[in-house]
Chains A and B, each alone.
Chain A
Amino acid sequence: MLSTADLKTKIEAAIPGTTLKLVRESLLLENPNDLLKVARFLKESDLGLDYLSSVTGADYLTYLESVYHFYSMAQKSGPVVLRVRTDRQNPQIPSLTALYRGAEFQEREAYDMYGIVYEGHPDLRRVFMWEGFEGWPMRKDYQQEDSETLEMADVAWLENQGVKVPEPIKAKAEELEKQGKRALAQKPGQPEPQ
């Protein structure tokens, strides 16, 4: 198995125009559009990295990242870690499903949690959260609902079901509605060090 630095020079020599960067023990692909070419090289060259073990997302506040772990079943080598970065506003990365069928659900998971759009994915929809869920819950700026405070949607739903909602709870929900706010969760801060 080549070292990460040797792998970098090998890939860059084989695919002209590709620039990689060493990040800790992994390779960062500078241009996401080269991803399919690089993955195809990893799979079909003598490296024989035929098994894509994991596709994950990560949020680094200023950018989103998709991380790939490649192994070779034939040569019993790996992992080769490949990172691809994309911006937060319009995160788009080419899908590897055409090359590695196993990437399908993992890309769906990364889409579900981080909102990374994998272009060319055959069936990109939520996998853990339900249809109609809004937001990307694993992103660092995700704001969670406050599960102790009812909002007007809850009150209307309950009254539609014939459940009587106590007055203070209803008044609170109406006030939130008037202010145009959502009830957001608050979590206690860290305990004081003893």
Chain B
Amino acid sequence: MAFSPNASQVDDGLKSELAKKGIVVTTLNQLYNWGRRSSIWPMQFGLACCAIEMIATACARYDIARFGAELFRPSPRQSDLMIVAGTVTKKMAPQVVRLYNQMAEPKYVITMGACSIAGGPFIDGYNVLRGIDRYIPIDVHLPGCPPRPEALLYGLMELQRKIDGQEIETTEWYQKGLKREYPIPDFGPHGLIPKFNPEVWNPRETENRKERYGEPILIGRKDKAPNLDLPPAPPRSAAPAPAAPPPEPAS
């Protein structure tokens, strides 16, 4: 879904003048999108620590109700927005894709936090999915570890801007033959099968990390282990040991 500003053909100044006289000029799209963006129902589920920030956003201090998104629904059938809040492990990924498939159109997805965007600090782990965008399309990526509640509110406002730019005539969910369901990955012997869905995501052309850090090494293969028979090494932060005093000159 490409973003396009909601362009009205009526001059803004004229609208403002008419509004002063009690005449409201609008378009069907504006009215329709205003209604939709003002009552986004998020799905009530969290995967890790980002969910705590999501809960804080829903509570009184940050109050996501100001944006009309306070109704967290415990069922995917009743929600418009999936906030993927937290680390998506490989064991959890099939369920997240299944939840997305079960949501009714129109549906939107916000990935909240570094983990659900790209794996975050666990990117090299054997157990963590490198971003849920490998299996489902994402509307708003929201970086942070975890993002502050303000950031989630900003992400929601970005989503509202996106909804504002949609038109009834061209929206996907009124077109025939739309099927926004994606295959649910299976557990394989070394990870998920498939590793990603090329309909949704493709590997980057350039490997930025490799260019930045030079020659690669194999993940997980380590050829060093501590020798327990030796005394433990001093902590790295400790100050260097004072130099031994010079030996007494033999008299």
Contacts and interface: CB of A to CB of B under 8 A. Distances in A.
Interface stretch (A7-15, A42-50, A89-97, A181-189): A181-189
B219 A187 contact: yes
B127 A188 contact: no
B213 A191 contact: yes
Interface string A138-153: 0011111101111101
A140 B221 contact: yes
A85 to B, nearest CB: 10
A169 B225 contact: no
A92 B40 CA distance: 55
Interface string B212-247: 111111111111111011011000000000000000
A131 B187 CA distance: 9
A137 B220 contact: yes
Contacts of A188: 209-210, 212-217
Interface residue tally of chain B, by bracket? Answer: 35 or more
A153 B186 CA distance: 11
Interface residues of A, number: 47
Contact of A133 (B186, B189, B203): B189
Given A186-B217, A187-B217, A189-B213, A147 B202 contact: no
Q: Closest 5 interchain pairs by CB? A: A188-B213, A154-B194, A186-B216, A134-B189, A161-B183
Interface of B: 91, 124, 126-127, 130, 183, 186-191, 193-199, 202-203, 209-210, 212-226, 228-229, 231-232
Interface of A: 23-24, 59-62, 128-135, 137, 140-145, 147-151, 153-155, 157-158, 161, 163-166, 169, 182, 184-192
22 contacts: A59-B225, A60-B225, A132-B187, A135-B190, A137-B126, A140-B225, A143-B220, A144-B126, A144-B220, A145-B191, A147-B191, A148-B203, A154-B195, A164-B198, A166-B198, A166-B202, A185-B220, A186-B210, A187-B217, A187-B218, A188-B212, A191-B214
